[in-house]
Amino acid sequence: MRQNRWNDKEAEARLRDAGNHPADQALALRVYSSRLIGADPDLVMHGGGNTSVKVERENLFGQRQRVLHVKGSGWDLDTLEAPGLPGVRLDPLLKMRELGALSDEDMVNMQRSNLLDSGAPNPSVETLLHAFLPHTFIDHTHATAFLALANLPAAEAAIAEIFGDRLAVVPYIMPGFALAKKAAEVFEANPEVEGLVLLQHGHFTFGETARESYDRVIEHTNLVEEWLEKQSGGRRFETTVKRSRTAADRETVSRVLPVLRGAVGRVRGARHGMTSKPVVMDVRTGPEIDAFLSRTDLDDLAVRGVASPDHVIRTKGQRLVLTRDDIAAGDERIVEKTEAFADAYKALFERQNARVGGTKVLLEPHPCVAWIEGLGIVGIGKDASAASAASDISEQTVEVMSQGEAAGGFHPIGEDDLFDMEYWSLEQAKLAKAADKPFGGRIVAVTGGAGAIGLATAKAFAREGAAVALIDFDREACEKAAAFIGGNCLAVVADLTAKGAADAAIRSVTERFGGLDVLVSNAGAAVQGNLLELDEEKLRASFELNFFSHLAMARAAAGVFRLQGHGGQMLFNVSKQAVNPGKGFGAYGLPKAATFFLVRQLALELGGEGIRVNGVNADRIRSGLLTDEFISSRAEARGVTASDYMAGNLLRSEVEAHHVADAFVALAKSDRTTAHVITVDGGNIEAALR
C-alpha cells in the first residue's frame, strides 16, 4: 500500500521559505507534493509522470496574467525544484484548443514561445492536457497498480466497480494535442470526477490545493491495490524496485553475462559501422522475479508490450528470453538468440516504417531487457544509468504483468501504437540531447581504488562516462570512495594477495555491470629495506602484492575479455623503480621490474585477441606509498624543502595523482597502442625508458 507522506509542518516550512507572493507559495507546495509523489517509484518511474499548478503573475508592464507551471523535460519528480516547473502563459495555450489539428512541432514551438523564461526547459509533452483541465493543481502518475488496471481487457468495467463515478475514463491516444482535447471533453462530460484514468497509460488527479490532489493520488492507488489483491487471491506487494543484484548461481552469471554483453555489443556496433559498441548491464533477482521467470507463458509476455507507452523508449517493446535450456546449450545459443532478436526487431521496423511512409531511421536493434531463467532480469543500456533505468522499469513491468494476468489479462497498446511511441520525434529528441561520453558503455575496474592514484583514476574514468568498480582491501575507505564517485560505482573489498581473490573480485564486477573492458591494476605498497638484510618473508609478501596480484588480476580479466569477444585493455601501475632503482627499495623495485616485463609479455601473448596491455611509470606521487612523513625525511636527507623535493624533476613541478590518472585514460583511448609504458614523473632522465 502507498503511504501518505504529507506533513503539515514541512508544507508550512515550504510556504515560509517561498516568501509572500501567492504564486511563489503555490509553486512551493507544488514542488513539495511533487517530490512526495516522486519518492515512491511505484507511483512514478524514471521521469514518468508530471505535475502542474496554475497561478497569476504580473508581467513587466504590471499586467496580471494566468500562468501554468508544469514539469519540464529533464527533471524527475523525486528531485524536482522550482526551475523544473517552467512557467507558461496559460491563455495562449487555452486558445490552441480551438484548433482542429496541431503538429507536435508546432505544439512544442507554441509552448516554448509562451515561456516566461526563454531559457527554461521544454514544458512536458502533456502540457496542454494540464492546461485544458480547469483545476489549480494536477498530478499525473504511472502507479504500478493503475498500470495493471489500465491494461486490463475489461478496464472500464473494473474502474467502475472500484470507483463508481469518481473517475472518468479516457481511451488510449498518443500524448499530445489530440489526447489533451479528448481528456478535456471527457472531464467536461463528468465535471464532478476526482480524476481520470487514461487507458493503457496512467492516472490523473486534480484539486484546488496541492494536498487535495496528492491525497487523491494515494487514496485512488490504494483502492486499486486492494482490488487487485482480491482478484489475485491475496497476492500483494509493497514495492517493485528492490535492486537485489546477487544471483544464487554466481558462476553461471559470471559466464553468461559477458557472452551476452559481447553479443549485444556486436549488434550495437554493426548499427554504427563498428566491430563492437559495448553496453552496461544491471541484474535484478529475487523470489518474485524467479517466480515470474518460471511462467509457462514467458515467450508470449516477452513480446506483449510495455506497461506504459513511454517505457518503450528505455526498454523496447520486446525482451530477450534465455531459458535454462538456452544457457545449458552454451555460448553459441546465447549469441544466436541475441542476433535473432535483432533480426526480428529490424523486421518489425521495416514493416512499421512502411506503414508510416518510410520516414523513420532504425534505432539500435539490440535488446534493452533480457529475462534469463534462473538468473533474473537484466537491464541493458549505453551506460550504467540507462541499464539501471531499464531494470527498474522491467521490475515494475513484471509486477504489472503478474497483477494484470491474475486480474483478467495484460493487454497494452499494440505494435502500431508502440512503434509510433518509440519513434515519436519528441521522445527521440530527448535522447538525442544526451550525447554519449567517450567511455559510455565501458566498464573499468581499478585495484587499489581507495588510494590516491586509484581514486583519481576511477574519478577520471567516471567523468568519461565509464561504469567503475573500485577494488581495495580497506572496506571503509573503499566504500567511502565509491560513494563519493556515485551510484554507478561499485565497491569491491578484496585482499588481492589471497588465493582466488582476483577471480572473486572480477566476478563481482561482472555480476554488477555485465563484464569488463579496462583493468587498471594499480594496487601496491613500497616495501623498504636493503635486500641482503631484508627478511625473506617480507620480500615474498612484496612479490605477492606488487607482482603476483597483478598477474592474478590479468588472468581473471582476460577470462572475461575472451567471453565477451571484443578485446579489452589492461593498464598497470609499474613505477620508475622498475628501471631506476632507489636505495633501500629493492624489495619494491624487483617485483615492479617483473611487472614491467609482465606488460610486455602479456601484450605479446594477447595482442592477437585484440587485448591491449600498457603501463604507467610514475614517480613521487603523494599517496599511501609516499606519505608526508616519508617526504619530509627524504627532503631533509637531501637538504631541501618538501616542496622542492616533490618538484625535483626537469619541469620543476610536483606530479599529482590526477596526472597519473590522465595518463591511464590517455592509454585507454589509444586504440592502436600496446606494449607501451608512459612515464609520468615531470622529467627524470635516470628513469627514462629510451
Phi, psi of 197 (to 5 degrees): -110, 120
DSSP-H helix ranges across 210-319: 210-231, 250-271, 287-292, 298-302, 312-315
- Using 50, 70 and 90 to split pLDDT, how confident is the model at 566? very high
Is the pLDDT at 592 greater than 70, yes or no?
A: yes
- Using 50, 70 and 90 to split pLDDT, how confident is the model at 524? confident
Closest CA to 90 of 134, 120, 51: 134
Residue 314 CB coordination number (10 Å): 24
3-state SS, residue 141 = strand
pLDDT score for 632: 85
Q: Say which range, 324-328, 340-344, 627-631, has the weakest mean pLDDT.
A: 627-631
Residues 6+ apart with CB under 8 A from 316: 345, 367, 368, 369, 422
- DSSP for 657-686, written as a single string: HHHHHHHHHHHHH-TT--SEEEEESS--GG
Burial label, 647 (beta-carbon count in 10 A; 0-12, 13-18, 19+): middle
478-495 pLDDT, tens per residue? 999 999 998 789 999 999
Query: In the block, which residue shows the cell 606509498?
Result: 625
Active site residue 345: no
How much is the mean pLDDT over the chain? 93
pLDDT score for 144: 95
In our burial notation (b when 16+ CB lie closer than 10 A, e otherwise), range 498-530 reads eeebbebbbbbbbbbbbbbbbbbbbbbebbebe
Share of the chain above pLDDT 70, in %: 98
- Using 50, 70 and 90 to split pLDDT, how confident is the model at 240? confident
pLDDT score for 385: 93
Task: Tell me which of 345, 423, 588, 645 is the catalytic residue.
Answer: 588
Instruction: State mean pLDDT over 22-30.
Output: 97
Cell reading at 367: 535488446
Cell reading at 677: 609504458
Residue 9 CB coordination number (10 Å): 7
77-101 pLDDT, tens per residue? 999 999 999 999 999 999 999 999 9
Q: What is the widest separation between alpha-carbon atoms in the chain?
A: 95
- Using 50, 70 and 90 to split pLDDT, how confident is the model at 44? very high
pLDDT score for 159: 98
Instruction: State mean pLDDT over 628-647.
Output: 84
C-alpha–C-alpha distance, residues 146 and 200, integer Å: 9
Residues 6+ apart with CB under 8 A from 600: 613, 675
C-alpha–C-alpha distance, residues 679 and 676, integer Å: 10
530-547 pLDDT, tens per residue? 888 888 899 999 999 999
Is the pLDDT at 430 greater than 80, yes or no?
A: no
Residue 222 CB coordination number (10 Å): 16
3-state SS, residue 197 = strand
pLDDT score for 432: 65
pLDDT score for 433: 65
pLDDT score for 299: 96
The model carries a pTM of 0.92
Pairing of strands 518-521, 568-573: parallel
Cell reading at 51: 505535475
662-680 pLDDT, tens per residue? 999 999 999 999 999 999 9
Is the pLDDT at 150 greater than 70, yes or no?
A: yes
